[in-house]
Chain A
Amino acid sequence: MASVSTLPPPPAPIAGSVRYPLLERAVALELWGGVLVSAPLLVLGALLVFLGGVGTLSPSPPTHLTTGLSAGAWGAGLLYGGVLVLALTPVARVGVSAVLFAIKRDFRFTVITFTVFVLLVTTAVGGIYG
């Protein structure tokens, strides 16, 4: 019978630091893209809300998107879209990272990143329908 001391050692850990320039580039571009899309929507939306004379500090439900064709309604819709794009940007960043870790065949981090993505979606969906 083999004693404990003769069991094979655990696999050697990988040493050193690992950086994937492609992943860093993709994450930076995705985040910057989120800023570039949301910022004009937010600025234009705020301007139209003021031009339409419907500015308010009260909460705005998503139905603002379909309440008419006035400048104010358009502005509220654009503001809503800007905030939505901004809120989706970090979630999309996790999705992009999962795909790129998979492309790099870094399976440990593909699993970790996919787990984060599932937890995020579960929290968001649970919060909305819960």
Chain B
Amino acid sequence: MNPQALLDGLVAGSMIGLGAIGVTLTYSIMRFANFAHGEFISWGAYFALSAAAAFVSTFGIGAEPLGPFSFGWVLPVAGLLSVVLTALLALALDRILFRPLRRHNSAMIILVIASFGASIALRSLLEFVFTNAPRYYSDSLQISTPIFAGIRATPDQLLMLGTTAVLVVGVHLLLTYSGTGRQMRAVSENPALAEVAGIDVAKVVRMVWIFGGGLAAAAGIMSGLVVQIRPYMGFDLLLPLFAAAILGGIGSVPGAVVGGLFVGLCEAVTVQTVGAEWRQAVAFLILAAVLVLRPNGIFGKKA
């Protein structure tokens, strides 16, 4: 096996990990599997694409490649804007769809069906606006350079791994030590008791969408940077996201990231040994194995 699979797997796995944080938080706080989460990834990528393109075409600056990277300084700025916009999109979706359903006290599974409908609508809207043609943030090509033991990486890939590490550590520290993080854990343990104790449950729910949407946007932008931007990019990641979140144990942020890296590495090894056409089956096999053998995941608590 080629050691290159290690890097490819880490790159793919960090995108999955970032997305899976949102899935695992939504799941532990609102207790439903959000099938629309993949769309936040796609929308994040397209938000950044549109913002960057609009800025460059208006002012004519910002597109020149920055140092060794393939993109100009406009992309990080557009990326930050996209994180905000995607978080707002997640909040809006909760406001018009999920919150009314929760208030009706709908069965949790109705929320899952609704998220399935929202996912299809959001994805097709992207397809309508941007068509199916793949897009890129930059048309400049990058040469990968050897970094370690015959493994090659592009500067973009290394930047992406670094950014992911910073984001994950930041979110983990925030959720472990901040008041918001403690409130989230309280609501995830027992919403009724948390509310009696004076925790603003609605605010916790908003925070979950902001974190989930923002991190999904980050995953989408990075995925767009090192692969490509397509309306289906998020939907195709959905199964790996679920596999990672469940493997890591629902509610565990480090678990989601470790799960994501594991799924990414397994996919890369499969592509090398079995063939790229079976890549999508990997997440399913991991998912099935975890659910049968250890449904609470690696870092999960006993249900």
**Bound pair (A, B):** no
Q: What is the interface of chain A, defined by CB distance below 8 A to chain B?
A: none
Q: What is the interface of chain B, defined by CB distance below 8 A to chain A?
A: none
